[in-house]
Structure 1
Amino acid sequence: MPLVEIRRMLADSSVSRIDEYEATLASELAERRQVLDYVRRFLKEEQMYDVKIKHVEEQPYVSASKRIRVDELERFIVGTVDELTAAHESAGNSFTIYHGEVNEEDDGPVEVCLPVAEADTKLPAGEVAYTVAVGEQTTFPEIIGAYDAVAGWAKANGRELVGPPREIYLEEVTADPPRMEIAWPIR
């Protein structure tokens, strides 16, 4: 236990302070176990994802961007999709573009997008490599495996990743279980 926490415990010697600290430790341990499970599967080179390629058409969209860390990500995506769909008529599945890494230390930025019939902002047409993640595979850190699978496929097949990756929500962003495509533009 860090000295800062010990000082807090001594200043507020209530059982609730200890319970709060224990809950924080349990949450941190659960996250670390997830990361270790992912690393074990990666080291065993388990093939968890089927990567394919497809051509996508140009897609006009509206969006909202934010610098955000992983613990706030889901709330931001769900809230932003709700706001965008309330203000615009959707022309397809909502998606998020990751302009940088998002984790406990890195904050993107991310751009939550809603396809529309006409807009000034457009995703360019082109080829993408993609895979589908379902259920637990869509949570952090499990989702990293889907991104790694697409990047690994591109490297193994002599393709170059061009531009930021995106998650396309194949159902409502609050669907249970969630289903999404991880797509990366390639050449």
Structure 2
Amino acid sequence: MSGDLLRPGEFLRRTRLSAKALRLYAEQGLLVPDAVDPWTGHRGYAVAQVARARLIAALRRAGMPLARVRDVVDLEPGARRAAVARWWDGVEEDLRRRRDLVTALTAETEEDDVREVTLREVPGRTVLTAERRLTVDELDAFITGAGEEIDAHLARCGARPAGPLRVVYHGMVTEDGDGPVEVVRPFTGSVEPAGDLRIRLQHAGREAVTCLSRREAEFPGILRAYDAVGAWVDARGLERAGSPAEVYLSARDADPDEPHVEVAWPVSGPA
């Protein structure tokens, strides 16, 4: 082994890493020895690896996940700075959402915080859908991508959308819960399934529904809409007859006070 290489002890002193962290980064392929003596098994690290080790440690101290560190550590400095900035923007957005949620959970209930909920008939329709199990960090991209894929397939088949896009939550979507989530578009015309897209019949029935502006639909405000619909259903002796859905009436860049999304819950029971 070359005498220019650093032994593990010296490398740890220069980088101020712990032995545990060094083993972890080696297991992840982020910081492997520059050479390993085939006879003794002694590891050696190049002096240039000190800067890499310090960069990895700094990113980890900032809270960047190891998988994300792997994506950025080998980038050129300019690209790395841009990648770190994009990641941090996401962190700050996540913190904002968490702060808003904690504020909502700890705030006093306002007497006038009452939503109008109505009951409506839903006709039976044929729908094209895409369904996936995912966690909350994947949700927005899936909804956008699936909606575009569904509408593009309808256009290729010569079919036409016959109603707004629905996002049906068959299970809770959080950092721990993975749904599944189903993106649904009713249509008219003849369509064949393709890839992950499926065709099914949405049965006629009734649903309790409330409408939110884009401003009201911002997280965590939309959670209160689910609570309001559920409380309305319970107060009238109705039964939840399926999974709740969000029905999108306008684009995500719509005016903040424009009707944007409905929260709808299928119900059964007395009229």
User: 1:71 Cα deviation (Å)?
Assistant: 1.6
1:25/1:116 CA distance change after superposition, 3 Å? closer
How far apart in 1 are the matches of 2:92 and 2:252?
Answer: 27
> Based on CA coordinates, which of the two structures has the bigger radius of gyration?
2
User: Is contact 1:69-1:104 (8 Å) kept?
Assistant: yes
1:43/1:29 CA distance change after superposition, 3 Å? same
The aligned counterpart of 1:106 is 177
Task: Write out the 4+ residue segments of structure 1 that deviate beyond 6 Å after TM superposition.
Answer: none
CA deviation vs aligned residue, 1:38-86 (integer Å, no higher than 9, x gap)? 2245644652421111111112100110001122111110111111101
The aligned counterpart of 1:12 is 54
User: 1:141 Cα deviation (Å)?
Assistant: 2.9
How far apart in 2 are the matches of 1:37 and 1:149?
Answer: 18
Query: Is 1:56–2:122 an aligned residue pair?
Result: yes
How far apart in 2 are the matches of 1:25 and 1:90?
Answer: 36
1:87/1:162 CA distance change after superposition, 3 Å? same
How far apart in 2 are the matches of 1:78 and 1:38?
Answer: 27
* TM-score normalised by length of structure 2: 0.58
The aligned counterpart of 1:141 is 220
CA deviation vs aligned residue, 1:141-185 (integer Å, no higher than 9, x gap)? 332111111001111121111110111111235645471111111
1:72 alignment partner, one of 115, 131, 138 = 138
2:206 alignment partner, one of 124, 127, 136 = 127
How far apart in 1 are the matches of 2:170 and 2:250?
Answer: 23
User: Is contact 1:132-1:179 (8 Å) kept?
Assistant: yes
2:261 alignment partner, one of 164, 180, 183 = 180
**Superposition CA RMSD, Å:** 3.1
Paired positions, count: 182
How far apart in 2 are the matches of 1:28 and 1:93?
Answer: 28
Three-state SS of the structure 1 residue aligned to 2:144 is: helix
CA deviation vs aligned residue, 1:108-139 (integer Å, no higher than 9, x gap)? 00010111125751211111100112224323
Code of the aligned partner of 1:163: G
How far apart in 1 are the matches of 2:58 and 2:150?
Answer: 40
How far apart in 2 are the matches of 1:128 and 1:100?
Answer: 18
Unaligned runs of 5+ in 1: none
User: Is contact 1:78-1:174 (8 Å) kept?
Assistant: no
How far apart in 2 are the matches of 1:69 and 1:161?
Answer: 24
User: 1:27 Cα deviation (Å)?
Assistant: 4.5
User: 1:32 Cα deviation (Å)?
Assistant: 2.5
Q: Percent identity?
A: 34
User: Is contact 1:61-1:113 (8 Å) kept?
Assistant: yes
How far apart in 2 are the matches of 1:185 and 1:42?
Answer: 30
How far apart in 2 are the matches of 1:147 and 1:134?
Answer: 14
How far apart in 1 are the matches of 2:188 and 2:54?
Answer: 58
1:14/1:117 CA distance change after superposition, 3 Å? closer
1:101/1:46 CA distance change after superposition, 3 Å? farther
Three-state SS of the structure 2 residue aligned to 1:137 is: coil
Code of the aligned partner of 1:92: G
